[in-house]
């Protein structure tokens, strides 16, 4: 026994009663699309800058990886593009790591001075 009563196929149509109304509904949707304004680019090359940065850290392998993960998931946009590691001098369990990457920042608009 079905939970819901069966509905005849003709009653399940979601379109209008007029069979040639497809053109009218397509016209209405294109009019709605035309009314939608184009997005405005908020980030451009004039207000967004990338600065190269190198950071040297010393720690265990796990600590260095945790530091790199925190760089890439922190509040400041930072893209790591290189890591060089070497055993720390005199320390068998520690690494010196040089992390290179780019830090991104919004640049304030230039103001003109009067006078």
> Would 13 be classed as within a structural domain?
no
Q: Per the structure, how many domains does the chain have?
A: 1
> Would 98 be classed as within a structural domain?
yes
Q: What is the pLDDT of residue 64?
A: 96
102 bridge partner residues: 52, 79
pLDDT tops 60 at residue 58: yes
Separation of alpha carbons 106 and 68, rounded Å: 22
Q: What angle do CA 72, 46, 34 make, to 5 degrees?
A: 95
Burial classification of residue 35, based on how many CB atoms lie within 10 Å of its CB (0-12 exposed, 13-18 middle, 19 or more buried): exposed
Band the pLDDT of 22: cuts 50, 70, 90.
low
Question: With contact defined as beta carbons under 8 Å apart, do 101 and 81 qualify?
Answer: yes
Q: What is the pLDDT of residue 36?
A: 79
> Would 100 be classed as within a structural domain?
yes
> Would 36 be classed as within a structural domain?
no
pLDDT tops 80 at residue 82: yes
Q: What is the extent of the structural domain holding 81?
A: 51-106
Query: pTM of this prediction?
Result: 0.56
Instruction: Compute the mean pLDDT over every residue in the chain, rounded to the nearest whole number.
Output: 78
């Amino acid at each position: 026994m079905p939970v819901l009563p069966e509905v005849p196929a003709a009653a399940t149509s979601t379109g209008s009663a007029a069979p040639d109304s497809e053109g009218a509904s397509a016209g209405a949707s294109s009019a709605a699309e035309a009314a939608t304004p184009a997005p405005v680019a908020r980030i451009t090359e004039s207000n967004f800058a990338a600065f190269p940065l190198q950071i040297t850290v010393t720690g265990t392998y796990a600590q260095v990886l945790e530091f790199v993960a925190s760089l890439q998931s922190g509040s400041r946009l930072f893209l790591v593009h290189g890591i060089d590691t070497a055993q720390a001098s005199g320390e068998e369990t520690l690494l010196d790591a040089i992390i290179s990457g780019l830090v991104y920042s919004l640049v304030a608009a230039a103001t003109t001075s009067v006078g």
